[in-house]
Amino acid sequence: MMENRNSAGILGTGWYVPERIITNEDLEQMVDTSNEWIVERTGIHERHAAALDQPTSDLAERAARMALEDAGVAAADLDLIIVATLTPDRVMPSTASVLQDRLGARQAAAFDLSAACSGFDYAAVVACQFIETGVYRHILVIGAETMSKVIDWTDRNTCVLFGDGAGAAVFGSVEDGLGVQSFDLGSDGSGSELLQIPAGGSLKPLTAEALLMHENCVHMDGRAVFRFAVRILGETVEKSLAKAGLKKEDIDWLVPHQANTRIIDAAASRLELPAEKVIVNIGKYGNMSAASIPVALAEAAHAHRFRKGDLVALAGFGAGLTWASCIMKWAKED
């Protein structure tokens, strides 16, 4: 970390998932699949889904309020709100702006960030730059998704994977030596078509024909994405460790994107981490895209699994193709 910079870290966390639960047994009634097939290949048993009239901003607000309370920071004292999402309430305005009003964060700037499942790590890194340079004091970072609204529920290859939820963290200055130590961000746009929502943007506006073809929903080359993820998840953590002058054995906790247990296991093996050092909650939530990492992080934090000074590695990958990791020394007192 550069000299004469503030140390930036997490002051508090929060999360929220909708009440409705869709089990694998429910999906057996909808598409040609089975509980055994889903669990064996993904590790997912169930996922949560928002109500039809429940937008992403609602999930984000609930997680945000919990994080603010945990941090002991008032909404009025926020300088910036960043919402990482691929399922915003609307194309415009930003979901972050909607959230700023609901929270009463009158002094805060606000914007959305789009990096799919890597979004929370990307947003966290952006937030830390403002804090380290002293530009802002308190920044609310949220990963929030309503993936159920962009899933083709007749496509058994994708509908079994995703869930809805929101995770939030308040970032601010922390004790010197603690907080974010290093990060790695990356993208390979040559793989942009491997995981995408084809219609709804300027490239292919939403039309009746596009809706008929379910092009407003997630399309994925599962095998190609799996191969990419198995390689990149461990690799990005190694890069972040090297930047901080740290080694694999220094990691106390890995909080990975919750996409597939086989991918998580591959990363843990590469990093030589035992299962008890890896935070996994995919079984009950599925892949919540940008909400995946912050929900896992918040659940673990509120379960008192982290101790002050623990080295925590966050790592994600997603559409873009993108990847991101962030190494931090946990700064919050238990």
Please state, in angstroms and as integers, the Cα–Cα distance from residue 148 to each residue in 64, 83, 91, 99, 116, following that order. Answer: 21, 18, 17, 21, 15
* Residue 233 parent element (H or E): helix 222-243
Instruction: For the beta carbon of residue 131, count every other beta carbon within 10 angstroms.
Output: 25
Distance between CA 170 and CA 310 in Å, rounded?
18
Q: Is 108 exposed, middle or buried (0-12, 13-18, 19+ CB in 10 A)?
A: buried
Annotated catalytic residue: which of 6, 159, 287, 326? 287
Q: Which residues contact 74 (CB under 8 A, 6 or more apart)?
A: 68
Closest CA to 11 of 171, 142, 180: 171
**257 catalytic residue (yes or no):** yes
Residues written for the chain: 334
Distance between CA 204 and CA 145 in Å, rounded?
22
Annotated catalytic residue: which of 48, 117, 128, 138? 117
Annotated catalytic residue: which of 48, 138, 219, 257? 257
Put residue 169 in one of left, alpha, beta given phi > 0 → left and psi -120 to 50 → alpha: beta
Catalytically active residues are 117, 257, 287
